Structure 1
């Protein structure tokens, strides 16, 4: 596994002056069925007041085939609602997912609050992993290129470089 990994920025938008995401975007990003995310939101063990403030129920028209459509429930959620929801998600992808979303919400909040953007920095976040845990994150500058080890090796191979693991090289030299 790569020591550094760049995750696609989560879908976060501005709605009524607040950074928000949707239950559909959470489902798509996390690889869950949307109906399961809706069920998770409906069964959250939070107060009614918290739910009202952080989860707005809406309906979206979706295509179901042959040009037919139906209305589908979708939630718009605030940063607090999102964090409350995904704290129940588990696994390695959930950990990376949580950190990437938090970083994106923080970036958008800084932008909304008039923070000065650092010149040459993109909206992409570089996460540094150690033992499959995120140990740091930072914005990626415009002049930086981030790739997984597999992608880096493929680029090297296409440029006619020989890529071999050091252990394999030691075995070949020893024989």
Structure 2
């Protein structure tokens, strides 16, 4: 049984259309995700096996990290007066972009290098490099002292457990 990484490689990099289709189907069945990009760098990472994500991008550059339940895709509309499609195209994510849980990036937008798209953000306009995008099209410069959401190496399991226990203790203090 192929791993997520093997299916991702077959889906995105195989030259055999039948193998691509099979991998795409298995990604959807096993991980509830769809990944379809015109250009994708092999270093792109999907946290939590891209569970619940739909990623239809023009380009994902080197070092991009995408978390679960993310939607990246089109935001097109048909103009009945001109009888033409407008806003065609899919997003480009520059190098080292991080897209947090549940974010939506829609339309022919460019997300600049080292930008972070915050959890639950809805982005329909370009985001400059080294920015933090949050809410609905809210953008501010990133604090250069911090990496947000993802930085290799990630915290160790015991660190995460200890931090969670601390939150539980704070909770108990509020109900006492």
Q: Which TM bucket (shorter chain)? A: under 0.3
The TM-score with structure 2 as length reference comes to 0.28
Query: TM-score, with normalisation over the residues of structure 1?
Result: 0.28
Considering only CA atoms, is the larger Rg found in Structure 1 or Structure 2? 1
Greater fraction helix: 1
Q: Which has the bigger relative contact order, CA under 8 A and spacing at least 6? A: 1
